[in-house]
Structure 1
Amino acid sequence: MSNAEKKANWKIFLVALAVTLFSLFLSLLVTYIVTHILHGYMNPTSVVIATIVPTIVAGPVTWVIESYRRKAKDALARLQLVKDELEHQANHDTLTGILNRRSFIAGIADKPDGVLISIDVDHFKRINDTYGHAAGDVALVQITQAISNAVRESDLFARLGGEEFAVFANDASYENAKDLAERIRLAVNAVDFLPEDGVRHELSVSIGSAFGSESKDFDAMVAIADQRLYCAKENGRNRAVFPDASDLKQVA
């Protein structure tokens, strides 16, 4: 029996004892009043009955009730843990532990102003084909950790699927967004991914961007960011593509 179970049993015992003593007192008091009204005195038989009945009944009944109450409380606690775990699984990516696409979209629904940074791992298929999917998963986890360290606490970070990630920086200026994208790029470059015999395989990401001033619709922002991401891919990868600041002002 664990210390927690022993402590719980002691609590039940003390509750049962308290209930028994109170029941005994109440039984004697009621018996005293009734016998004095009927007979003018309290005979020994009445005292014995008034003592034995609550002692036999109150303690065991209280013990049973408290035991079931404790079990019900423990069961509810376990159900709450399961509920919390299911909610976490529903809102987070299984492999990396960060937000998934659904919760990411829900998270930015009430944030009209911000910057969407679309991130795609460069040559990820080559990693899977060369080292295997298990190594690819390791790379994704390491990349996730690197990006997590680069973003701000207020930023939303999610895995949209496969090797695609996204960051939503709320109320970030144009320069702050560019600095954030550069931190992300350099953080991924610095990852020590050692998939085979301790030999380092350099990792990199291509980054596209879309601003809330260009569109308030999530799908439209994704399309804009992806277009710039493809531009980054076509121009050598391992880079971030942003619109000209003057173009943003014209859109706004």
Structure 2
Amino acid sequence: MLSSIFLSVIANISILCTVSYVFVKLIPKEKNYTLSLKKKLGMIGIASITSFILMLFSVTLPEEAILDFRQIILILLVYYFGPSVSIPTAFLIAALRLLLGINPASIHTAFVYVLLGLLLPYVSSKLTKRFNNYAVLSGLNVVCVAAISLNLYFLYDDILLSILICFSLLILSSIVVIAVTAFIEDLIKNLHLYLEEQEHAQMDYLTGLYNMRAFNKKWKMIQADKSITKTAFMILDIDHFKWINDNYGHANGNFILRQLAVILNVGAPDHELIYRVGGEEFCLILNHLSYEEQKEVAENIRVSVAGKEFLLENGAGINITVSIGLAASSQQKDMKKLFRLADRCLYMAKDQGRNQVIGATLESE
């Protein structure tokens, strides 16, 4: 009997760890994400199948009752993915329990899981405000074990037997909850580290803006996105930047670049679409704006730079200007041509005296 229980516990733990790994892998590898309907349905399906498998490795009790750790699946879904995933899963777990045979034990258990599916999200929201994840998940497990034990009491009408089963299940399931949670948290931590490394690989260390690598990736996404019909590249270059470096030093040149990045963050419609693409060269992507609005953004940035006193490291101030090339497209979306056109407009702005905006549309080429 003890060996059978031991093997069932080991099987349940192995299954839970495997499924936890799958759940974490289903989380989109993005900094901020929303689970799609497809992923939610996938999680519900996997969780339901897993609960059925756990039942097959359960400990059989008198009156055809079975005991396993399938409540932990429900607990993890409630805590990590919310009621939109956990509630449908609870109803499916209840239905699957009836597939193993309709009897008083299965009917009572099905009712308990429907009740837990509705109750646990509320309990989780209350506990999350006050406790850490381990305490919250352990608290949810206590609620589940209490409901399961109450169900067994009504089934057996034996309070001592119910307490014994409750105590044994609580100890074992609490250990499993903590172990599985530690496993999941480690997986999530590694996922966050991966996302941070990805983020750093796309960031310019000096200005904190995105770099050329991120820029190339973004314009490919824009070209493939049919919902974006109006787009533009705005390339900006600091006038006489070599003279600044030669006369004030590269440290001051870098200091000026960082100050310029702040102005661009303020002046750009979307601060996620600003890139440092060269030494003193920056590029902004302007989506969903008319050509007149695009020119207005470019001109406002030019005026802001020209009207600001840039500080040097010794506290002195200097004035700088920028030249801007703007290339817009509202029909064609050939981003390589668009970038070349913006670059050509930038050099025209420099050739015609600097400190100005020269714009063109891809359709007029």
With structure 1 as the length reference, what TM-score do the two structures score? 0.71
Write out per-residue CA displacement over residues 30-88 of structure 1, whole angstroms, 9 at most, x where no aligned residue.
596xxxxxxxxxxxxxx97x478536633331221121122123223323422432343
Instruction: Indicate the residue corresponding to 1:119 in structure 2.
Output: 236
The reply to whether residue 105 of structure 1 matches residue 219 of structure 2 is yes
C-alpha distance in 2, partners of 1:172/1:10?
47
1:28, distance to aligned residue in structure 2 (A): 10
| Structure 2 residue matching 1:242: 3-state secondary structure | strand
C-alpha distance in 2, partners of 1:214/1:87?
33
C-alpha distance in 1, partners of 2:138/2:291?
63
Paired residues of 1:108 and 1:168 also in contact (CA < 8 A): no
| Structure 2 residue matching 1:152: 3-state secondary structure | coil
Instruction: Indicate the residue corresponding to 2:40 in structure 1.
Output: none
Normalized per residue, the structure richer in helix is: 2
Higher relative contact order (CA 8 A, sep 6+): 1
Instruction: Indicate the residue corresponding to 1:189 in structure 2.
Output: 306
1:119, distance to aligned residue in structure 2 (A): 0.9
Question: Which of 283, 286, 296 is equivalent to 1:166?
Answer: 283
1:216, distance to aligned residue in structure 2 (A): 3.6
| Structure 1 residue matching 2:318: 3-state secondary structure | coil
1:23, distance to aligned residue in structure 2 (A): 4.9
The reply to whether residue 139 of structure 1 matches residue 261 of structure 2 is no
Which residue identity does 1:209 align to in structure 2?
A: L
* 148-157 vs 8-17, greater mean Cα deviation: 8-17
Paired residues of 1:122 and 1:206 also in contact (CA < 8 A): yes
Instruction: Map 1:66-77 onto structure 2 (within 5 A).
Output: 66-77=177-188
1:132, distance to aligned residue in structure 2 (A): 3.8
Paired residues of 2:152 and 2:162 also in contact (CA < 8 A): no
The reply to whether residue 54 of structure 1 matches residue 165 of structure 2 is yes
1:113, distance to aligned residue in structure 2 (A): 3.3
Paired residues of 1:154 and 1:170 also in contact (CA < 8 A): no
Instruction: Indicate the residue corresponding to 1:238 in structure 2.
Output: 355
Instruction: Indicate the residue corresponding to 2:206 in structure 1.
Output: 95
C-alpha distance in 2, partners of 1:157/1:200?
25
**For residues 206 and 63 of structure 1, do their structure 2 counterparts lie closer, same or farther at Cα, with a shift above 3 Å needed?**
same
1:237, distance to aligned residue in structure 2 (A): 1.8
Question: Structure 1: which 5+ residue stretches go unaligned?
Answer: 33-46
Which residue identity does 1:145 align to in structure 2?
A: V
1:187, distance to aligned residue in structure 2 (A): 1.5
1:154, distance to aligned residue in structure 2 (A): 9.2
C-alpha distance in 2, partners of 1:18/1:173?
57
The reply to whether residue 12 of structure 1 matches residue 130 of structure 2 is no
* 20-29 vs 73-82, greater mean Cα deviation: 20-29
Which residue identity does 1:197 align to in structure 2?
A: N
C-alpha distance in 1, partners of 2:315/2:200?
33
**For residues 21 and 184 of structure 1, do their structure 2 counterparts lie closer, same or farther at Cα, with a shift above 3 Å needed?**
closer
Paired residues of 2:231 and 2:329 also in contact (CA < 8 A): yes
**For residues 132 and 54 of structure 1, do their structure 2 counterparts lie closer, same or farther at Cα, with a shift above 3 Å needed?**
farther
- Superposed CA RMSD in Å reads 3.7
Question: Which of 215, 222, 225 is equivalent to 2:342?
Answer: 225
1:206, distance to aligned residue in structure 2 (A): 0.9
- Greater C-alpha Rg: 1
1:183, distance to aligned residue in structure 2 (A): 0.5
Which residue identity does 1:59 align to in structure 2?
A: L
Identity within the alignment, %: 30
- Count of matched residue pairs: 230
| Structure 2 residue matching 1:161: 3-state secondary structure | coil
With structure 2 as the length reference, what TM-score do the two structures score? 0.52
Question: Which of 260, 265, 273 is equivalent to 1:148?
Answer: 265
C-alpha distance in 1, partners of 2:177/2:261?
48
1:184, distance to aligned residue in structure 2 (A): 1.1
